[in-house]
Amino acid sequence: MTDIWKPSVTVAAIIERDGLFLLVEEETSDGICLNQPAGHLEPSESLEQAVVRETLEETAHDFLPTALIGMYMSRYLSSRAGQEITYLRFAFAGDLGAVHDRALDHGILRTVWMTHADLAACPDRHRSPLVLQCVQDYLNGKRTPLSLLYTHPSVTGAVHA
């Protein structure tokens, strides 16, 4: 039997306020990096639920996704695992909501607000090349309605398959 190739599905929140973008500074196996609030899709959640959860865990803020900016693929050579990983990222625009008194997710050092120019000036600090690409697509007005996404109720446990 051959191995089945599976990309790692992730979500990211692109949050802009007054020309500044909300990012997280996080510890990685490659050092301290900048990323959007982002993370992996879990087995029983929709993409929208995942980006809401990840934003809360990494920034302590509520997030309301309003549009899909894009779907992105990139390949990364993990220095820790010594293997290539392909990521499939779904980036969402949305509104930042209330802040909660809670600890940030493990590995997240702090949140930071940066301009596009400041972010573009430090690509060596980005978690992946998708960090800047998502912001550029957001600034270029790329938006797709969330209705493009469909999650069958069997995923979230609403019905049994």
pLDDT string in tens for the chain (161-residue length): 578 888 999 999 999 999 999 999 999 888 999 999 999 999 999 999 999 999 999 999 999 999 999 999 999 876 666 778 899 999 999 999 999 999 999 999 999 999 999 999 999 999 999 999 999 999 999 999 999 999 999 998 876 54
* Helix extents (H) in 6-143: 47-59, 116-120, 130-139
Residue 59 vs residues 100, 113, 144, 161: alpha-carbon distances, Å: 9, 11, 24, 35
Would 160 be classed as within a structural domain? no
- Residue 73, H or E segment: strand 61-77
Would 60 be classed as within a structural domain? yes
- Domain residues for the domain of 42 are 8-143
CATH number at residue 14: 3.90.79.10
Helix (H, G, I), strand (E, B) or coil at 158: coil
The bridge status of strand 84-99 relative to strand 61-77 is antiparallel
Would 104 be classed as within a structural domain? yes
Count, residues in the chain = 161
What single letter denotes the amino acid at residue 117? A
Give the pTM: 0.92
